[in-house]
Amino acid sequence: MEISELAFELGANVFGVADLDEIKGYPVHPENLLEDFKYGITIGVKLPDSIFDLLPESRSLYSRYYTVANDLLDNIAFRLSRYIEKEGYKALPIPASKIVDGLYWSSHISHKAIARAAGVGWIGRSLLLITPEFGPRVRLASILTDMPLEAGKPAKNRCGKCRECIDNCIAKALRFSEFEDYPKRREEVLDVDKCASKLREFAADPNKGTMVCGICIKVCPWGKKK
């Protein structure tokens, strides 16, 4: 069985492979994280459209399925890693949503960087990974491996003149910036503090309890029913 077939069987809705040379220079943690690995597998699960279409009223629902999606992604990444090891290769699953302490709102590696390099989508003006099929309505995880796989080609930005995310961000945290593949600095596009404080506001609400907002996801035309 192909590893992509197994991923879809386990519940993934998006699958791709990136040659890690494509993200050479990206600040990973720890620094030698990529040493043993040649490829980055990207997996994504799609959240139900209604969760986003009914925002902001549905934010407590989004809060619950945000966690369900993370758990499913971590489960799929865990089981794919076992499959890769049984095939005699190395595999390191990276959790869907883990902020590494001490790093300014960063993690071990950027799932979006791997997904873009794999060609499953592009980095949009919301700074989110936009897929042609589901827009940004997917959550991501990654598996690093030395298993010989066929890598995809990085995807080009297809946001065009659209700025729905920027104009509708309730924290006014998004800035307009012209970039083809990805902004050299995250801060060119996203005021992290403004976004994070809005998320903290929602997380403080007992009916929600997790750092979710979702408006930049809701308004993206690529995610809306065609």
**Residue 18 C-beta: closest distance to ligand B12, Å:** 9
**How distant, in Å, are the alpha carbons of 62, 101, 129, 138, 193 from that of 46?**
12, 28, 12, 4, 27
Q: Does 122 bind ligand B12 (CB under 6 A)?
A: no
- Determine if 209 is a binding residue for ligand B12 (CB under 6 A): no
Sites for ligand B12 among residues 142-181 (CB under 6 A): none
Residues shown for the chain? 226
Type of residue found at 219: V
Which H or E run contains 93? strand 91-94
Instruction: Find the binder of ligand B12 among 1, 2, 25, 160 (CB under 6 A).
Output: 25
Among 34, 93, 112, 149, binds ligand B12 (CB under 6 A): 112
Least distance (Å) from ligand B12 to the CB of residue 136?
4
* Least distance CB 226 / ligand B12 (angstroms): 18
Q: Which residues pair with 123 in a beta bridge?
A: 129
Alpha helices in the chain (DSSP H): 3-9, 49-53, 59-86, 111-118, 164-168, 192-203, 215-218
Which residue ranges make up the site for ligand B12 (CB under 6 A)?
Answer: 23, 25-26, 66, 96-97, 99, 105-107, 110-113, 116, 123, 126-129, 136, 138-141, 182-183, 186, 190, 192, 195-196, 199, 211-214, 216-217
